[in-house]
Structure 1
Amino acid sequence: MDPSTLEPSVTDQVAAPPNKLDGTVLKIAGVVVLGAIMSILDITVVSVALPTFQTEFDATYAQVAWTMTGYTLALATVIPLSGWAADRFGTKRLYMLALLLFTLGSALCATAGSIEQLVAYRVLQGLGGGMLMPLGMTIMTRAAGPERIGRLMAVLGVPMLLGPIGGPILGGWLIDVASWHWVFLINIPIGAIALVYAWIVLPKDEPHPSESFDFIGMLMLSPGLALFLYGVSSLPETGTITATKVWATMLAGALLVIGFVLYSFKPRHPLLDLRLFRNRSLAIATISLFVFVIAFMGAGLLFPSYFLQIRGESTLNAGLLMAPQGIGAMLTMPIAGMMADKIPVGRTVPFAMALIAAGFFTFTQVDTDTSYVLLCGSLFVMGLGMGGTMMPIMTSALRTLSHAEVARGSTLVNILQQIGGSIGTAIMSVILTSQLNGSPDIPGVTNPNSGEPITEAGAAIAVQQGIQIPLPPEILQRGLQYAADSFATTFWVGFLLTVATLIPIAFLPKRRAAKDVSGEGAVEPPVLIH
């Protein structure tokens, strides 16, 4: 056949696909970057504002923690809907709705007069934020095509890292020079720009109104995920899985999710298409990402806590000390993205994961005076590994999907990421809390709010954070040492989970999948040969 008689899109596929991303794709990527930065920045900025919320609203830590938990529950509820809604209404209008909800929620958060109001407005934020990431991944994958998705993920990954790097720094600075309200107000101009940009740049929607909505699946999956994550998130507050608030909600949620899994293979268009797991490449990549998120994201939240609670640093300094991790990731992510388009991820990701484990090991040895040079150097090494891990695994998960499967696939990946992050955070918080509570009580000293005895470790941490408690130097030092040992023990758990991630990663594809010249994605054989 004469190539000139082929359709343009097919001719382009027969020829070597362009290595560089064209201007149209980069403009679309810019929209997704803005939404991702807002979502990620908001999580990291709010995390450093929790002590301020305690003071401003006269609330306990368990109460203010619901500003994070409520956001997470909203994410878990809305993410399953995003795949169907993207097909039904189109990605452009749905993405703009998500931006609007997130921006409106941010504005309302700044007006909150009580902790209850703040939690409610955070839920509204989460309804928008939950759609931003899966929709963004869908838009990116469709724009770039399977051959360039690794390169596009790398381009997007660098500015997205500004959230974890800049969040703690920005949050600490805004609280110091202005007020906690600006933690949320900062999203309003970014959201307005993103809305206008999305309206101009994103391609016109092509919705598919014929697909039916899986109401039965929604009634099982969304409440099931919310109940399960509610129970998991309550673990740090109760300190035990035997509390009714924990086990009952986790059990109810798990039963609903299991019911959904058994049911989901019956309807033609299920809310969450688990049939995609028949694609071995997607299944292995998703499992690898799930285990990695449990291991790293849970422990990752404790790094700034160590600087704040053990070393007595300000929120701004703690954010600056975390910056080497993001810098390391920024260096390797573009390289890893280009390699992901040429070299199977199964040949590169294990080496990146080994870097993360090597850097992580340092934190299992932390003390009250561990060298900042050593800690920042270890964070930098971990960042180098992160840049070669997260985006290549996502690339492996999505690149073998057809155009019609992308929205469903990105929804699956995002749900498992969210569940993994919540489980990892809860596990690490429970372990750290139980370790700290094992510290001896200080005779005759009680908490003025609860009336309960104060442990040596708890009192030492309070002093490091600027709370005036008269303590003899020997008790202060002993409490700090106990607290540092508690962090080290918790980091050991995170390190071992990180090493365990190498098991599913070993099964990532080590050969390139065959390409489909139709432009619909890669043709995936029933079983990949590794």
Structure 2
Amino acid sequence: MTRQSSHTALLWIVAVGFFMQALDTTIVNTALPSIARDLHAAPLAMQAIVVAYTLTMALLTPASGWLADRFGTRLVYLVSISLFVIGSLTCAMAHSLDQLVWARVLQGVGGSMLLPIGRLAILRAVSGEAYVSALAMISVAGQVGPILGPTLGGWFVQSFTWHWIFLINVPIGAVGLYAVHRFLPNDTAHDAPPFDFIGCGLLSLCMVSFSLALDCPVETHRGAVSAALFAVAAVSAFAYVPYARHRRNPLFHLALFREPNFSVGLVGNLLCRIGSSAVPFLLPLMMQLELGYSPLHSGMMMLPIAIAGTLSKRWIARLVSRYGYDNFLLVNTALVGASIVAFAAFSPSLPLAVEIAILVLFGACNSMQFAAMNSVTLKGLSSKDAGSGNSLFSMVQMLAIGLGVSIGGLLVQVFEGQFGSASVGFRLSFVCMGVVTLLSGVVFRRLDSAPRAAAQASAAR
């Protein structure tokens, strides 16, 4: 096999892995009511299925690079695909909600390494000049996954059973395993610095405790449990600061936060993604449970979001160059928050054209929001801190998805209990999540104006 064909095969392998991960993040959402009926569970209890997957990926993402250095990229990639396929099979065979949640954890262990290990394999095999083009190719797979996911999930549920949303990963994974074994270079392990297990444990304890506190039932007698879990999360987070200050190679250096836009961008990202991440979970549930949509119909209603998001990416560079990150994020955040609030107006009497317009607005603005937030958060980091900063940023992204689902589901339960109507619960939850997103605009006002000057200088060249 020639060097060029070997690189092409590598790109396809990584693209398929990225596609599986992106597909599985969205394909489950439209199937949740059907899964709930089959497992005799409440639909809102299905949030644990999403949270278990995303939280597991958040916990394990920092270790992916160390594992690749310690055991070799090829071996780790083979193991990650194998775990993902085994986890998918276990999900399909689950007979209770608890079994499905643990199966999703196993699936998340494999999914957490698919993209970062794939990027690393490309970085080591592809020359610097072709690296950007290679990443652009695999990013297409990441865009196709969310477009196909909701509709494919709805079709599987309506035409077959919900089990097929997981079984579809088996043939794809089998092809991936063969391709990795056949085409991925058999690299040797590299010298890896000692992994910071204690630091990773502290941050993991913080994220797990915080997520479990939000997932506790809303009954008053469980309030003490939630308070205790929040306290554990706070103590573990604060304990990391002195620990990292005195360790030579901590998981994340505290020097990262000396870059002002990194700190501001990280907090803004967390708030904004919490609000917007609730939408893919709450919207299909509301459409099926309150508006009477079929699984396929609700899945197709998510298409405008994904398509508009894909098409709008080409506008972001010109808009940022013209208005700067600070002004762009201030206005665009308001549009994202307003569109989330507008989902509360969805009803059988609302014209379809208006619903599609709201979905398109959210999809386009949310996609550009992610691109701008990613760029402004990471671009000021030095080359020394870039890897660590990107790893922490990835953790926050996955954590925000889980928190968005947990908080969104919790709000629906609280408002439903307060007003005795699930419909009111969904609508007020969208309003609250939109307000959370709008709050991130206040955070983005603290951005340093330097990125704006840099963007305008770049555009002038």
> Under TM normalisation by the shorter chain, which class is it?
0.7 to 0.9
Question: 151-160 or 500-509, which moves further after superposition?
Answer: 151-160
Letter in 2 for 1:511: A
Aligned mate of 1:277, from 248, 257, 260: 257
CA shift, 1:121, in A, is 1.9
Q: Find the aligned partners of 1:407 and 1:197 in 2 and give their Cα distance.
A: 28
For this pair of structures, how many residues does the alignment match?
450
CA shift, 1:138, in A, is 5.5
CA shift, 1:232, in A, is 2.0
Sort the Cα spacing of 1:85 and 1:110 in 2 relative to 1 into closer, same or farther, 3 A: same
- Look up the match of 2:195: 213
Residues 1:425 and 2:364 are matched in the alignment:
no
**Cα RMSD after superposing both structures:** 3.7
- Does the 8 Å contact 1:174/1:180 carry over to 2? yes
Q: Find the aligned partners of 1:341 and 1:145 in 2 and give their Cα distance.
A: 25
- Look up the match of 1:68: 50
- What secondary structure, in the 3-state scheme, does the structure 2 residue paired with 1:180 have? coil
Q: Find the aligned partners of 2:425 and 2:183 in 1 and give their Cα distance.
A: 50
- Does the 8 Å contact 1:288/1:504 carry over to 2? yes
What whole-Å deviation, never above 9, does each CA across 1:371-401 have from its counterpart, x for those lacking one? Answer: 2211111111111112322133323444455
- Does the 8 Å contact 2:61/2:394 carry over to 1? yes
What whole-Å deviation, never above 9, does each CA across 1:391-445 have from its counterpart, x for those lacking one? Answer: 33323444455666444233201211122222222222222222222335xxxxx
- Look up the match of 2:300: 320
Residues 1:175 and 2:157 are matched in the alignment:
yes
- What secondary structure, in the 3-state scheme, does the structure 1 residue paired with 2:407 have? helix
- Look up the match of 1:385: 365
Q: Find the aligned partners of 1:25 and 1:172 in 2 and give their Cα distance.
A: 35
Q: Find the aligned partners of 2:437 and 2:122 in 1 and give their Cα distance.
A: 29
- Look up the match of 2:283: 303
- What secondary structure, in the 3-state scheme, does the structure 2 residue paired with 1:510 have? helix
CA shift, 1:169, in A, is 1.4
Q: Find the aligned partners of 1:385 and 1:255 in 2 and give their Cα distance.
A: 36
Letter in 1 for 2:176: A
- Does the 8 Å contact 2:58/2:396 carry over to 1? no
- Does the 8 Å contact 1:96/1:198 carry over to 2? yes
Q: Which has the larger radius of gyration?
A: 1
- Look up the match of 1:498: 437
Letter in 2 for 1:109: C
Gaps of 5+ in 1: 1-21, 441-456, 459-482, 516-530
Sort the Cα spacing of 1:272 and 1:385 in 2 relative to 1 into closer, same or farther, 3 A: same
Q: Find the aligned partners of 2:341 and 2:95 in 1 and give their Cα distance.
A: 43
Residues 1:289 and 2:269 are matched in the alignment:
yes
Q: Pairwise mapping of residues 83-98 of structure 1 onto structure 2 (< 5 A)? A: 83-98=65-80
Sort the Cα spacing of 1:435 and 1:186 in 2 relative to 1 into closer, same or farther, 3 A: same
Q: Pairwise mapping of residues 335-354 of structure 1 onto structure 2 (< 5 A)? A: 335-336=315-316, 345-346=325-326, 348-354=328-334
Question: 360-369 or 37-46, which moves further after superposition?
Answer: 360-369
Q: Identity over aligned residues, as a percent?
A: 28
Sort the Cα spacing of 1:159 and 1:240 in 2 relative to 1 into closer, same or farther, 3 A: farther
What whole-Å deviation, never above 9, does each CA across 1:28-80 have from its counterpart, x for those lacking one? Answer: 55444322321232232223333333333334446654333332442343233
Q: Find the aligned partners of 2:122 and 2:178 in 1 and give their Cα distance.
A: 18
CA shift, 1:184, in A, is 0.9
CA shift, 1:316, in A, is 0.7
Gaps of 5+ in 2: none
- Does the 8 Å contact 1:87/1:407 carry over to 2? no
Aligned mate of 1:38, from 8, 15, 20: 20
Q: Find the aligned partners of 1:24 and 1:403 in 2 and give their Cα distance.
A: 29
Residues 1:260 and 2:240 are matched in the alignment:
yes
What whole-Å deviation, never above 9, does each CA across 1:58-117 have from its counterpart, x for those lacking one? Answer: 344466543333324423432332343344445554344322211221122223344443
Higher helix proportion: 2
Q: Find the aligned partners of 2:350 and 2:219 in 1 and give their Cα distance.
A: 29
What whole-Å deviation, never above 9, does each CA across 1:118-158 have from its counterpart, x for those lacking one? Answer: 33222111111223344456667786869986x87765554
Letter in 2 for 1:430: L
Q: Find the aligned partners of 2:263 and 2:34 in 1 and give their Cα distance.
A: 42
Q: Find the aligned partners of 2:14 and 2:439 in 1 and give their Cα distance.
A: 32
| TM-score of the aligned structures, taking structure 1 as reference length | 0.73
Residues 1:232 and 2:232 are matched in the alignment:
no
- What secondary structure, in the 3-state scheme, does the structure 1 residue paired with 2:313 have? helix
- Does the 8 Å contact 2:279/2:340 carry over to 1? no
Q: Find the aligned partners of 1:425 and 1:318 in 2 and give their Cα distance.
A: 18
Sort the Cα spacing of 1:112 and 1:360 in 2 relative to 1 into closer, same or farther, 3 A: closer
Aligned mate of 1:131, from 105, 113, 122: 113
Aligned mate of 1:245, from 225, 228, 233: 225
- Does the 8 Å contact 1:343/1:512 carry over to 2? no
Residues 1:54 and 2:36 are matched in the alignment:
yes
CA shift, 1:486, in A, is 3.4
Sort the Cα spacing of 1:23 and 1:291 in 2 relative to 1 into closer, same or farther, 3 A: farther
Q: Find the aligned partners of 1:391 and 1:29 in 2 and give their Cα distance.
A: 22
Letter in 2 for 1:262: P
- Look up the match of 1:462: none
Q: Find the aligned partners of 1:403 and 1:92 in 2 and give their Cα distance.
A: 26
Sort the Cα spacing of 1:295 and 1:29 in 2 relative to 1 into closer, same or farther, 3 A: farther
What whole-Å deviation, never above 9, does each CA across 1:453-474 have from its counterpart, x for those lacking one? Answer: xxxx35xxxxxxxxxxxxxxxx
Sort the Cα spacing of 1:94 and 1:34 in 2 relative to 1 into closer, same or farther, 3 A: same
Q: Find the aligned partners of 1:510 and 1:493 in 2 and give their Cα distance.
A: 31
- Look up the match of 1:489: 428
CA shift, 1:343, in A, is 9.4
Letter in 1 for 2:442: I
- Does the 8 Å contact 2:50/2:405 carry over to 1? no
Sort the Cα spacing of 1:50 and 1:286 in 2 relative to 1 into closer, same or farther, 3 A: same
- Does the 8 Å contact 1:239/1:433 carry over to 2? no
What whole-Å deviation, never above 9, does each CA across 1:469-503 have from its counterpart, x for those lacking one? Answer: xxxxxxxxxxxxxx2x4333222222222222223
Q: Find the aligned partners of 2:41 and 2:396 in 1 and give their Cα distance.
A: 32
Sort the Cα spacing of 1:358 and 1:119 in 2 relative to 1 into closer, same or farther, 3 A: closer
What whole-Å deviation, never above 9, does each CA across 1:254-299 have from its counterpart, x for those lacking one? Answer: 3223212331222222123443233344333333322210121124
- Does the 8 Å contact 2:55/2:398 carry over to 1? no
Q: Find the aligned partners of 2:252 and 2:298 in 1 and give their Cα distance.
A: 39
- Does the 8 Å contact 1:134/1:411 carry over to 2? no
Q: Find the aligned partners of 1:94 and 1:271 in 2 and give their Cα distance.
A: 20
Q: Find the aligned partners of 2:120 and 2:267 in 1 and give their Cα distance.
A: 20
Sort the Cα spacing of 1:72 and 1:92 in 2 relative to 1 into closer, same or farther, 3 A: same
- What secondary structure, in the 3-state scheme, does the structure 1 residue paired with 2:302 have? helix
